[in-house]
Amino acid sequence: MLNADHTNYIDLQGGGELRMSYNNVDDLQLNGRYTLNSGEMKYSLDIIPLRTFTIQDGSYIEFRGNPYNPRLKITATETIKATVGSGTSVGRVVDFNCGVKLTQTLEKPGIEFIISAPNDVSQQDELNTMSKEERSKIAIAMLASGMYLADGNTSSFSMNSALTSFLNSQINNIAGSAMRSMGLDLGMTVDNSTNASGAIHTDYNFKFSKRLWNNRLSVIVGGRVSTGAQIEGVQNNNNSFFDNVELQYRLNKNSSQYLRGFYDNSTYDWLEGRIGEYGVGFLWRRKLQHFSDILRFKSEKADLPPVDTTYRKRNIEEKKNEKN
């Protein structure tokens, strides 16, 4: 928890090998790496409303002695839809991955705001030509306003875009307050678009998640409700209410084995566009020192090092001498 009312917090799940030691000289020491495979971060700043960032797989926290000041390498992003256009063009809706990257240490973290457009090649090429500082400014503006504020894109601004961004923030605030008592995390966005004849089409996208049985079972359900004029395209051929359902069950305590079932009706493929995927799978994360360890399934338990009693005996003798 990062504040008193528990609206800002970081929830991490992962696994790793950590080694803790303690003595009177070095006090408590912790070494090792805790690798993250899931989690979320809810955070808000003075100009940025409360947002939910999903922690990317592969992020980690590394301990190098002091357990209260680990090194961070955490990337957390959120998908934001924004209208992109230039000149007199009407513009198109692009899915941006916008968020933060945390580096350095917990006491003095390095914070970098990041943005990318993985499903739009031309927009990603435009972002690649910018400097890191320029992308950071665009990311902050998008997190604050929900709009893509870049040079040459000001013609696409409209009252409709500003109103949509405001509605998204208010819906998430109200829904978050209502669902917090039930242990649900709910997010919702409103997307407005225009078809060839000029009619307005509105999509209400929602997604909620819940963890059960001491965080062993994770349930994620997402969907879309459309109103207004119909838009031609493949994505409207299937008007399913739920288009994203995922169940993930953790099998062991060190978070290395999972059972997963999923149904995703909005997966983007570079050749076929948006397609549907469903299936079940078994996920097993292992730490290997050699390539041949892939075929080794037995886990060898490491023997604990012998306890060094020399320092303890010397300390007891010194205390006896002080009393004498």
What number is the average pLDDT over the span 5-16? 79
- pLDDT at position 171 over 60: no
Identify whether residues 226 and 97 lie together within a single domain: no
The candidate with the shortest Cα–Cα distance to 35, out of 14, 55, 10, 64, is 14
What's the chain's average pLDDT?
75
Identify whether residues 80 and 173 lie together within a single domain: no
Identify whether residues 75 and 15 lie together within a single domain: yes
Identify whether residues 100 and 189 lie together within a single domain: no
Identify whether residues 23 and 166 lie together within a single domain: no
Across 62-66, 208-212, 267-271, the highest mean pLDDT is recorded for: 62-66
Binned at pLDDT 50, 70 and 90, residue 61 comes out as very high
Residue 221 lies in a domain: yes
pLDDT of residue 19: 92
Quote the distance between the C-alpha of residue 144 and its chain's center.
Answer: 18
- pLDDT at position 236 over 50: no
Burial bucket for residue 89 (CB in 10 Å: 0-12, 13-18, 19+): exposed
Picking from 104, 122, 157, the residue at the C-terminal end of a domain is 157
Identify whether residues 40 and 186 lie together within a single domain: no
The CB-based long-range contact list for 271-274 (8 Å cut-off, 24+ gap) reads 273/234, 274/234, 274/235
How does strand 71-84 pair with strand 60-65?
antiparallel
pLDDT of residue 282: 93
pTM to 2 decimal places: 0.61
Identify whether residues 200 and 123 lie together within a single domain: no
In total, how many domains does the chain have?
2
Residue 294 lies in a domain: no
Express each pLDDT in 122-146 by its tens digit: 889 999 999 888 899 889 888 887 7
Q: Using an 8 Å Cβ cutoff, are 79 and 97 in contact?
A: yes
Backbone CA torsion sign across 310, 316, 319, 324? negative
- How far apart, in whole angstroms, are the C-alpha atoms of residue 186 and residue 171? 10
User: What is the domain range of residue 190?
Assistant: 158-287
> Which one has a higher pLDDT value, 268 or 242?
242
Picking from 132, 157, 182, the residue at the C-terminal end of a domain is 157
